[in-house]
Amino acid sequence: MEAPAEDWVARYKKVRQQTESLCRPLVAEDYVVQSMPDVSPTKWHLAHTSWFFETFLLTPHVPGYRIFDEHFAYLFNSYYVTVGDRHCRQNRGLLSRPTVSQIYDYRKYTDDAMTRFLSGLTSSQQSELRSVIEIGLHHEQQHQELMLTDIKHVFWVNPMRPAYKARAQMPAAELPPMRWIDFPEGVHTVGHEGPGFAFDNESPRHRTFLEPFRLASRLVTNGEYQQFIKDGGYKRADLWLSMGWATVQQEQWTAPLYWIEQDGQWLNHTLSGLRTVDDSEPVCHVSYFEADAYARWAGARLPSEFEWEVASESVPIEGNFVESEQFHPIALAHRSQSPTPSQMFGDVWEWTRSAYLPYPGFQPPTGALGEYNGKFMCNQFVLRGGSCATPQDHIRRTYRNFFPPDARWQFMGLRLARDN
Ligand SMILES: [Fe+2]
């Protein structure tokens, strides 16, 4: 059944307003900085998400639509080769113009046009364009998360270590001991099943066989990860994949990203400023290489993405998402002694040992939006479950996030698994 036109308008406004509300703690200078090639300036995110609606909905479907600025397609196209040439990604932070104020004007212009467009959709247009409108909204939510992870890095490279949002540090929690939860062998059906939106990479739904496995009842914590560090985890080649060990040497990693050792104590940079590392919180900002090495040290392994998905079926989609406004993973309360795994949703994206690959029968859509996911299915690993920067209504059990194995700047952590 189609949602009535006014629901589209309300959903559109809600998502767009949420993006701008995340910018409220920022000042104009914060919007411009690109602290490393993976990071985009906040103002780029604000413009790129508007460009997305302009390019994939307004220009092709609104007769006589006039684009806001002829330069913006070049500046704010991210990676859509089919759409045209684009500005070099690593140079996004070199642009003082367009100004932040001009980009907010661009958003307003796009919002007015989108509101008119969505209000006037015929039912046949709704059927035809539903998936593109959904992609536009979910795309903007993905960029909301990136805005937070990117500004965290921007503040990290600033010796003043500004805080995005003040937050009282919680007292360290008493944690439930980690338990192993057994899952039997069997043939399982995985992947997205409608109704409701999903990205193309979550389909087709298909069968997969799982050997019996055990999954940890909770995430690996900072306290546990410090044991790995103390045990020489970053100095023992035998714990690492070859590429991981080379990365440790090259990058001189000795701890997760954002950790600093001061007077024998670990501190970490958070969106609320520099904090003492809380042993009871989930470890965060570790790469696939670190997650894999930790798991090996712990006599375990990372779960496959399908083990994770099957285990998540008994778990409600609840947790510490962006709506909690913690902007940081939080410790599991002792209350949680559920027979099902805890912390599967929210807090940190969980690395899996699954390479990011197409599902059997996968076909990307034709046209430029076919470039959204499919062309990245090489040299990346799947992460599951969302983080403290993910909107709750953005995540699904079948959602596949993906990053290269050396990426650390997203809210990334891990849960252990074992063969049974
Ligand atoms: Fe994008």
Between the CA of 323 and the centroid of ligand 1 the distance, in Å, is 21
Between the CA of 51 and the centroid of ligand 1 the distance, in Å, is 9
Phi and psi, residue 92, nearest 5°: -65, -30
Q: How many other CB atoms are there within 10 angstroms of residue 310's CB atom?
A: 21
Between the CA of 78 and the centroid of ligand 1 the distance, in Å, is 6
Between the CA of 201 and the centroid of ligand 1 the distance, in Å, is 16
Between the CA of 65 and the centroid of ligand 1 the distance, in Å, is 22
Grouping H, G, I as helix, E, B as strand and the rest as coil, residue 261 is strand
Q: Are 55 and 73 in contact (CB under 8 A)?
A: yes
Between the CA of 48 and the centroid of ligand 1 the distance, in Å, is 7
Q: Are 342 and 348 in contact (CB under 8 A)?
A: no
Between the CA of 411 and the centroid of ligand 1 the distance, in Å, is 18
What pLDDT score was predicted for residue 168?
A: 85
Between the CA of 221 and the centroid of ligand 1 the distance, in Å, is 31
Between the CA of 141 and the centroid of ligand 1 the distance, in Å, is 10
Between the CA of 174 and the centroid of ligand 1 the distance, in Å, is 40
DSSP, res 230: H
Between the CA of 202 and the centroid of ligand 1 the distance, in Å, is 18
Between the CA of 414 and the centroid of ligand 1 the distance, in Å, is 26
Strand partners, 260: 267
Q: Which residues contact 252 (CB under 8 A, 6 or more apart)?
A: none
Between the CA of 16 and the centroid of ligand 1 the distance, in Å, is 14
Give the Cα separation of 27 and 37 in Å (integer).
22
Between the CA of 136 and the centroid of ligand 1 the distance, in Å, is 9
Between the CA of 181 and the centroid of ligand 1 the distance, in Å, is 37
Between the CA of 139 and the centroid of ligand 1 the distance, in Å, is 6
Strand ranges (DSSP E) for 96-156? none
Between the CA of 402 and the centroid of ligand 1 the distance, in Å, is 14
Q: Which residues contact 188 (CB under 8 A, 6 or more apart)?
A: 207, 208, 209, 210, 306, 310
How would you write the pLDDT of the chain (420 residues) with one tens digit per residue?
A: 455 656 999 999 999 999 999 999 999 999 999 999 999 999 999 999 999 999 999 999 999 999 999 999 999 999 888 989 999 999 999 999 999 999 999 999 999 999 999 999 999 999 999 999 999 999 999 999 999 999 999 999 999 999 999 988 888 778 888 999 999 999 999 999 988 999 999 999 999 999 999 999 999 999 999 999 999 999 999 999 999 999 999 999 999 999 999 999 999 999 999 999 999 999 999 999 999 999 999 999 999 999 999 999 999 999 999 999 999 999 997 655 678 999 999 999 999 999 999 999 999 988 889 989 999 999 999 999 999 999 999 999 999 999 999 999 999 999 999 999
Grouping H, G, I as helix, E, B as strand and the rest as coil, residue 395 is coil
- Nearest 5°: CA angle at 282, between 278 and 285? 100
Between the CA of 145 and the centroid of ligand 1 the distance, in Å, is 11
Between the CA of 143 and the centroid of ligand 1 the distance, in Å, is 7
What pLDDT score was predicted for residue 70?
A: 96
Quote the distance between the C-alpha of residue 43 and its chain's center: 19
Between the CA of 398 and the centroid of ligand 1 the distance, in Å, is 20
Give the Cα separation of 271 and 169 in Å (integer).
12
Structure tokens at 347: 């807090």
Closest CA to 9 of 104, 109, 133: 133
Between the CA of 52 and the centroid of ligand 1 the distance, in Å, is 8
What pLDDT score was predicted for residue 175?
A: 87
Q: How many other CB atoms are there within 10 angstroms of residue 101's CB atom?
A: 10
Grouping H, G, I as helix, E, B as strand and the rest as coil, residue 182 is strand
Exposure string for 253-284, b = 16+ CB within 10 A, e = fewer: bebbbbbeeeeeebbbbbbbbebebbbbbbbb
Between the CA of 95 and the centroid of ligand 1 the distance, in Å, is 18
